[in-house]
């Protein structure tokens, strides 16, 4: 597994996502992956809004790749 040439800064709203194989792979490839645990928990909110927010829970795990691709397009526009 190689390192990425276009690293992203990825913020997880829950530590449970660290157990996802896709999240660990992103970290191993050189992306910065951190959680909100020490700052504030976003899990207490019903809705988190912002240009870089993605609905990502167990039901959406299959869409992790598409979320990363969309974030890359936003971070590294042509």
**8-30, pLDDT tens digit by residue?**
999 888 888 888 999 999 999 99
Q: Which two tokens stand for residue 20?
A: 């996802």
Structure pTM? 0.76
Residues 24, 26, 30: CA angle, nearest 5 degrees: 115
pLDDT tier at 65 (50, 70, 90 boundaries)? very high
pLDDT tier at 48 (50, 70, 90 boundaries)? confident
Q: Which two tokens stand for residue 1?
A: 């597994």
């Amino acid at each position: 597994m190689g390192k990425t040439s276009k690293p992203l800064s990825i913020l997880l709203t829950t530590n449970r996502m660290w157990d996802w194989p896709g999240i660990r792979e992103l970290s191993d490839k050189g992306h910065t992956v951190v959680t909100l645990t020490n700052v504030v928990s976003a899990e207490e909110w019903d809705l988190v809004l912002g240009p870089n927010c993605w609905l990502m829970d167990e039901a959406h795990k299959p869409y992790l790749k598409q979320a990363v691709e969309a974030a890359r397009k936003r971070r590294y526009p042509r």
